[in-house]
Amino acid sequence: MTTGEPGACVLGVDSGGSGLRAALVVPRELRRPDPVRSPEPVRTGPRGIDAAHFMAQLLPMARGLLEKAGGGHITAVAVGAAGLATLGDDLRAELPSALAKALGVRRTALAADAVTAYAGALGDRPGAVVAAGTGMIAIGTDLTAWHRADGWGHLLGDCGGGAWIGRAGLEAAMRAHDGRRGGSRALLARAEAVFGPPAGLPGQLYPRTDRPAVLASFAPDVAACAADDPVADGILRAAARHIAEAAAAVCPSTETSADTSADTCEVAFTGGLFRLGEPLLAPLREEVAAQLPHARPVPAAGDPLDGALHIAAEIAAGRLRLPLDSRMLSVHGEGVTS
Amino acid sequence: MTTGEPGACVLGVDSGGSGLRAALVVPRELRRPDPVRSPEPVRTGPRGIDAAHFMAQLLPMARGLLEKAGGGHITAVAVGAAGLATLGDDLRAELPSALAKALGVRRTALAADAVTAYAGALGDRPGAVVAAGTGMIAIGTDLTAWHRADGWGHLLGDCGGGAWIGRAGLEAAMRAHDGRRGGSRALLARAEAVFGPPAGLPGQLYPRTDRPAVLASFAPDVAACAADDPVADGILRAAARHIAEAAAAVCPSTETSADTSADTCEVAFTGGLFRLGEPLLAPLREEVAAQLPHARPVPAAGDPLDGALHIAAEIAAGRLRLPLDSRMLSVHGEGVTS
């Protein structure tokens, strides 16, 4: 990874529910250095993600990284942020000039977290990436535009994600408790071990503000039951079907791809959900083969922070191939028109 | 309806998300008088439903009803309250003595709103009642114990209720928006007409505290699409299946019924959900016939406030047949041991 001038570094930032992660790539360094983390998530206010709070957390991290690297200066920054599309107005308005003023940054990219997940997984090749943890989103590009499927949150979609799987598992537990059809005594036993008496479960879930995370916390229990319990297995098979449906909706067709060398669509799956292992991955392979016969599943090369570093290096060198889009990916600064 | 002594009345109260409704039954009056309503819902505090706030709202209503009836005194009160099982500790501890002190009430019944729905629909006959609006719960009794199915809220169940139907409809709309399988362009057009551009829907839903009500508000749109849209029709058929599953789980079997004259189980459906009409009712009839072959669907005789008045009259006369249960139905006061 070259950054075009001596001592010039690029900074990648990943902003999510648990805070900021940032890493610096310095010239002639092949390995990404260990990232640093902020102590708290960036606040969200009336204008969305608070740019001033973002800067207050990022600046000491960036200066610490530069110091640890033995000096240099940051020419480009790429930030991937959860909620950027809907909550990114303040970041888009304030962050590029604030970074220029405080650190002399020449170019700044602001990306939805799905875009940095994409860039981390596939770099700037056309294809489709599913990013799944508590939620689930698929994005794809033929390098002319972004296509998105799902990622609509736990009530409108995120079908097949961690909260979806955990919620379905707890519903099956309550069905067994009630004596309704579709219940699972194995999942009921798991739910009782985790949450206590079933009648107390609503009181433990609904008052919380992190309900999707509470639901997702039960997904590993569903996976653990799948080998012996047909209800749990059915939940993971349905999740795999939904995930493949989202991937199929965004996978660029070879006819419309700007990359005419592509005769197949690369598809990568990234995020904590896939640590559920074979109970999810086995049906997912089957669904991908059936629903995306022309897709080639590939391992994700890196994580969203790798994606942010990739985008930062590309904008520093003026060679970004990923398409710009006002809500998904914007670049600000010297010699940039977007 | 007799209340056992001259001038003696009974008061029924229905407490829910939109406030209190109360009505008085006076001797020799056959028709239930029009109920009165409180201006606001009863507050919920650290001890659950706030008994002092409940009394502050109920007392002027009760005195107004007595005055309008031309005098008399209230011997018995029955209160049906949403959330009584989990949030009723303060009501159980304070309400009976507060009503005795303020109004000379001799006996007070505290019932889960599902129990007053049951009593309103079937009186004190054994059977099963499904009460559905935004949520969905089924309760049944053989007059020795209560059995409950579902009613676990919009994330753990309430399968087939208004929020469930509306949520499924909005998911199908977003699937069409994304180009995923299982989408409905008809539901997408409805969702856009109601909520505006699809990408803005998460921002309209998730910040609200009344998310289940927002979801349920879309259920009539799903019903309106069902005649011409197979996805909407499939949602209502699935809802009907879930509702029948809950009814089947609580319907007392004739062998175990304490009422040996019963050779079938009466089943009634009550609540605003069933105003969706034939798109829901037609598949519900089919599901009930298939899943509850020994059940006899009957119309609900009345609503939860009628049920509260029924229970109040029965405890006044000392002849309540519905089973007592510390969380579902308790009676407090003179000559009462529960």
Span B127-297: which CATH code? 3.30.420.40
What ipTM goes with this model?
Answer: 0.90
Which CA distances in Å does B213 have to B152, B153, B164, B206? 15, 12, 10, 12
The answer to whether the beta carbons of residues A126 and A142 sit under 8 Å apart is: yes
Res B337: pLDDT? 57
**DSSP tag of B82:** T
Res A81: pLDDT? 93
Q: Give, rounded to a whole angstrom, the gap between the first and last alpha carbons of chain B.
A: 24
Which phi and psi angles does B57 have, rounded to 5°?
Answer: -85, -40
Q: Which of A164-173, A188-197, B318-327 has the lowest mean pLDDT?
A: B318-327
User: Rounded CA gap, A13 and A116, in Å?
Assistant: 10
Nearest to B155 among A149, A200, A211 (CB): A211
Q: Is the pLDDT of residue A136 over 80?
A: yes
Q: What residues contact residue B87 under an 8 Å CB cut-off, 6+ apart?
A: B44, B48, B49
Average pLDDT value for residue range B235-240: 98
Res B72: pLDDT? 86
Q: Each residue of B242-297: pLDDT tens digit?
A: 999 999 999 997 554 455 445 689 999 999 999 999 999 999 999 999 999 999 99
Q: Each residue of A18-31: pLDDT tens digit?
A: 789 999 987 666 56
**DSSP tag of A124:** T
Q: Does B158 touch chain A (CB under 8 A)?
A: no
Q: Is the pLDDT of residue A3 over 60?
A: no
The answer to whether the beta carbons of residues A131 and A102 sit under 8 Å apart is: no
Alpha helix positions (H), B162-277? 162-178, 185-195, 201-205, 211-216, 219-225, 230-250
Q: Each residue of B42-66: pLDDT tens digit?
A: 888 888 889 999 999 999 999 999 9
- Tell me the shortest Cα–Cα distance from B242 to chain A, in angstroms: 9
The highest-confidence range among A30-34, B90-94, B183-187, by mean pLDDT, is: B183-187
Which phi and psi angles does B150 have, rounded to 5°?
Answer: 60, -155
Q: Is A157–B171 a contact, with Cβ atoms under 8 angstroms apart?
A: yes
Q: Which residue matches tokens 């809802």?
A: B239
Q: Give, rounded to a whole angstrom, the gap between the first and last alpha carbons of chain A.
A: 24
The answer to whether the beta carbons of residues B8 and B105 sit under 8 Å apart is: no
Of the candidates B143, B86, B164, B79, which has an alpha carbon nearest to the alpha carbon of residue B113?
Answer: B79
Which phi and psi angles does A206 have, rounded to 5°?
Answer: -65, -35
Fold of A8-121+302-333: Nucleotidyltransferase; domain 5 (3.30.420)
Span B8-122+302-333: which CATH code? 3.30.420.40
Q: Is the pLDDT of residue A257 over 50?
A: no
Domain A127-167+215-297: which CATH number of 3.20.20.220, 3.30.1330.40, 3.30.420.40, 3.40.50.360: 3.30.420.40
Which CA distances in Å does A326 have to A44, A89, A332? 20, 11, 11
List the domain boundaries for chain A: 8-121+302-333, 127-167+215-297
Res A236: pLDDT? 98
Q: What is the dihedral of CA B79, B85, B86, B92, to 10 degrees?
A: 50
Mean pLDDT of chain A: 91
The answer to whether the beta carbons of residues A67 and A48 sit under 8 Å apart is: no
Average pLDDT value for residue range B180-195: 97
Residues in chain A with CB shorter than 8 Å from the CB of B205 are 153, 155-156
User: Rounded CA gap, A337 and B194, in Å?
Assistant: 37
Q: Which of A124-133, A327-336, B276-285 has the lowest mean pLDDT?
A: A327-336
- Tell me the shortest Cα–Cα distance from B95 to chain A, in angstroms: 23
Beta-sheet pairing, A265-270 with A295-297 = parallel
Q: Is B156–A205 a contact, with Cβ atoms under 8 angstroms apart?
A: yes
Q: Each residue of B120-164: pLDDT tens digit?
A: 999 999 999 999 999 999 999 999 999 999 999 999 999 999 999
Q: Is the pLDDT of residue B37 over 70?
A: yes
- Tell me the shortest Cα–Cα distance from A15 to chain B, in angstroms: 19
- With cut-offs at 50, 70 and 90, classify the pLDDT of residue A8: confident
Mutation target among A49, A89, A150, A180 for the B interface, most CBs of B within 10 A: A180
Q: Is the pLDDT of residue A87 over 60?
A: yes
Q: Each residue of A39-70: pLDDT tens digit?
A: 888 888 888 889 999 999 999 999 999 998 88
- Tell me the shortest Cα–Cα distance from B148 to chain A, in angstroms: 7
Residues in chain B with CB shorter than 8 Å from the CB of A149 are 178-180
Which CA distances in Å does A230 have to A104, A132, A170, A227? 58, 24, 15, 8
Q: Is the pLDDT of residue B232 over 50?
A: yes
Query: In 10 A of CB A79, how many CB atoms?
Result: 29
Domains B8-122+302-333 and B127-297 share a fold: yes
Angle at which helices A162-178 and A230-250 pack, to 10 degrees?
150
